[in-house]
Structure 1
Amino acid sequence: MSTWVKEYGKKLCTPDQAVGVVKSGDWIIYSYAANTLPVLDMALAKRTPELKDIQLLAGVSMRPHAIVKADPRGEHFTWDCVHFSAIDRKYYEMGRAFYVPLRYSEVPRYILENLSHVDVLMVQVSPMDQHGNFNLGPTISHYRASADRAKTVIVEVNEDMPIAHGGYGNYLHVSEVDYIVEGGHTGMPQIPTTPITSVDRQIAQYVLEDLRDGDCIQLGIGAMPNALGQMIAESDLKDLGVHTEMLVDSYVDMWNAGRISCRKKQIDRGRMVYTFAGGTQKLYDFIDNNPQVAGYPVDYTNDRYIASRNDNLVSINNALEIDLSGQVCSETIGPRMISGAGGQLDFVDAAYNSKGGRSFICMESTFTCAEGKQHSRIRPLLTEGAVVTDTRPMVQYVATEYGKVNLKGATTWQRAERLINLAHPDFREELIKEAEKLRIWRRSNK
């Protein structure tokens, strides 16, 4: 029997024994993205009545949590979230979740330097290999930094977790783990592809026209980036590279269609680089034991200097609204949290600093509110309470279903003019009047 197998046996325990180390006032690094904790979550939820002031650092939830159901008013557990999914947004609407404003690239440093203490790391992993390693599967993100900082490390073993190659920081060794809980076959969260609309396809088409063979692609979250991925798969582009924060199903489609080779990249040549993945089973199967896919901590993937070392880095992300000066909000509707900064600003910056790189902010020109009224996403000023995700000097290309424009180097009147041309026709005259009031309308084309 190997040394690592013996050590595994000594640290193996029940879920109740593992969560027994948690005490009131603890900070816990909890579930993130596809690395959920179905077994430990249930065990911790049972302890709700006896615990208070527990801070849980989590984000991009892909499964509901038993601890939230057990504590709907947040009297015992506080959900501190570095990025919202639809589930986290529901917790926020319940008054149960609070956002941590950070660029995604900064999360490891935040854990190492800014948290007063990290008492427990709970993380889902693959079964231990013969060398004593637990693989982190599809979520590398900030777990290496978390393990370095945490006083106690608890792993929940999922027999269905894919084995993800790195990079680095994609595994934990049994020697640095304190408690091991065997979760059995708990599956992987399945994130179905968002339905693609004709507007999504039109916006994606404008971006597709600007793509070239050998570009290195970063796609954000949402229907439009996914539409672009599917359209790339159907195109005749070739030798595309991948350096992204999130890996989604459309990358598998692009790979299977022969569009991606990663052979033109300047770093991590031949490998698709990401920090977390979420999608359907075909994505997890694609990652599993695939040496052409490399998972890294987020302070590698999203670092401007590292990402921009790849020439022709193209960043494609969604937004909620933009004002006529070019300020982009991708996080809130007014003061109401919807998402988070995530890595959008990281890649907007990295793409522009890449040789030949391009950054695209994409959005449908309008949205319909709960009362059934149509509103423009292109506004004179951002909605009161809205958060600026991308400052106006950072923004390069903007695209709606009415076209795309480049704002880099444009004056305030040029920005207003170009953005109004991207607005829905029903709102253009009103936007011109508001631009005049703001003294940014020159009437060169109207």
Structure 2
Amino acid sequence: MRPEQLDLTSFVRAGDLVMWGQACARPIGLTAVLADQAAQIGPVRCFAGLGIDDPTGRSVLDAPAVVTMSYTGMGHRRAEAAGRLEVLPAHYSAIAAAIDDRRLVVDVALVQATRAAPDGLHRLALAADYMEAALRHARVVIAEVNEQAPLVVDAPVVRPERVAAWVESSYEPLTSPPSESGAVERMISAHIADLVQDGSTLQVGLGKVPEAVVAALVDRRELGIHSGTVGDALARLVETGAVTNAKKGRDHGVSVTGLVMGSRAVFDAVDDNPSFALRPIGYTHDPDVLASLRQLVTINSAIEVDLSGQVNCEVAAGRYVGAVGGALDFLRGASRSRGGLPIIALPSTAGGRSRIVNTLSGPVTIPRGDAPIVVTEHGVADLRGLSLARRRECLLAVADPAHVTALEHSQPVPGNLSTRESP
């Protein structure tokens, strides 16, 4: 059966929470049908995760009766502008747990499934993350088998007994072209590359800076990958031979991720490739798993860092553009990993404004008790083990020189010391 032949009114009820695979994993045939039938179904909430524009232009999230729910504001500007965006400010690791505990009740799961594997069973396509939990707990599961979706055999199985309806499609999954890095990102990546040793295990977040860092690591050897997301940059690093996954302490020879997101190049890289595994959040973000990895280097970006080491990854100029996400999960994992490096990387300015600030303009995503290694184009500020006064000195050293004087004369927030502490 083709998606357009499906009567969703038989499965979706008014008031339901409908969840589907995020980013490239969205089953666009099913979501297009939901868009066409939304008026008949009535008001629903849709948990969409990270958004990517649909080239068909038939977005269910534009329907007046639909409220978009997501852990991130990325890709949901129209829903936000219309006042129909509900943000779930949760750690990425907590989303699947909330589904398991029925605190986040998924009524209908729309999944993109791969062609059948050699065992005759279909796998989740491109995203295991929290969709594995949705697949287990949703009242209704509808699967769209996409013949062009890459097959990762080591991925959650779409159990036939859990599926209320199957539809068949053949299309290239949604793509997310890699970000183009500039001179600033390359300077930041050079600083980080100097910290990464052979044999390290990499976790790389989204954005220009993390992708630029990966490009600077092609001369490393025996690297491993354990990441929430794998995109074009990490796939290219595997192709260079820099990644073997031989020394990371577990999953020998296998790059582990929860989400594949990028262009056709990364889809081809993971397709039918036994050296890649697609695992749910309960594994990719598990604190004990992360602690067991050898020299775990986590590289994530942020919106701003204050002079005490607190980090805002969520709000810029009053808009929810980022996420709580998995940054803190991975930072804490790297801190427990033997030889690990918890890195936050960001340009020192944005739009002429300093991103090293006296006071955050948004929420505290990463508290100062988890202060990481902060890297800008001006250098490295390793805040681990430092007092508040010394953190301030280190962060001023990596701030943009044009803003340092103003930062030096800014009034410290309560609890942040303005004078140098004695040894």
TM class by smaller structure: over 0.9
Pair 1:405-2:381 in alignment: yes
8 Å contact from structure 2 (residues 93, 326) kept in 1: yes
| CA contact 1:31–1:61 (8 Å) conserved in 2 | no
Q: What SS does the aligned partner of 1:34 have?
A: helix
Aligned to 1:230: 215
Q: Which runs of 5+ in 2 are unaligned?
A: none
How far is the alpha carbon of 1:190 from its aligned partner? 2.0
In the TM superposition, residue 303 of structure 1 has moved relative to its aligned partner by: 1.1
Structure 1's 71 and 349: CA in aligned 2 closer, same or farther, altered over 3 A? closer
The whole-number CA distance in structure 2 between the counterparts of 1:120 and 1:102 is 21
CA distance in 2, matches of 1:227, 1:247: 14
SS at match of 2:42: coil
Secondary structure of 2:93's match?
helix
Partner of 1:211: 196
Match for residue 389 of structure 1 among 365, 386, 404: 365
Segments of structure 1 that go 5 or more residues without pairing to the other structure are 1-11, 369-373
1:7 matched residue in structure 2: none
What is the one-letter code of the residue matched to 1:118? V
The residue matched to 1:135 in structure 2 has which SS?
coil
Displacement of 1:231: 1.1
- 1:3-22 matches, within 5 Å, as 12=1, 15-20=4-9, 21-22=11-12
Q: Is the 8 A contact 2:98 2:104 kept in 1?
A: no
Answer yes or no: is the 8 Å Cα contact 1:324–1:435 preserved in 2: no
Matched position secondary structure for 1:78: strand
Asked whether the 8 Å contact 1:158–1:182 carries over to 2, the reply is: yes
2:310 aligned partner: 327
Secondary structure, in 3 states, of the residue corresponding to 2:324?
coil
CA distance in 2, matches of 1:266, 1:437: 42
Contact 1:326 1:395 in 2 (8 A): yes
* 1:40-439 matches, cutoff 5 A: 40-64=30-54, 69=59, 72=62, 75-85=64-74, 87-115=75-103, 117-129=105-117, 131-166=119-154, 170-183=156-169, 185-233=170-218, 236-368=219-351, 374-383=352-361, 386-435=362-411
TM (normalized to structure 2)? 0.94
SS in 1 for 2:331: helix
Question: Cα distance, 1:127 vs. partner?
Answer: 2.4
Residue of 14, 24, 28 corresponding to 1:34: 24
**Bigger shift: residues 433-442 or 127-136:** 433-442
| Conservation of the 8 A alpha-carbon contact between 2:61 and 2:79 | no
2:412 & 2:98 partners in 1: Cα distance?
43
TM-score between both structures, scaled by the size of structure 1 = 0.89
Distance in 1 of aligned mates of 2:79 and 2:21: 14
- Give the superposition deviation at 1:312: 0.4
User: Following the alignment from structure 1 to structure 2, what is the Cα–Cα distance between the partners of residues 392 and 440?
Assistant: 13
Cα RMSD of the aligned pairs, angstroms, is: 2.0
Cα–Cα, structure 1 residues 429 and 140, in superposed 2: closer, same or farther, change >3 Å?
Answer: same
In the aligned structure 2, how far is the partner of 1:138 from the partner of 1:110? 22
Aligned sequence identity (%): 27
Distance 1:116 1:273, change over 3 A: closer
Q: Deviations over 1:398-417 (max 9, x none)?
A: 01111001111211111111
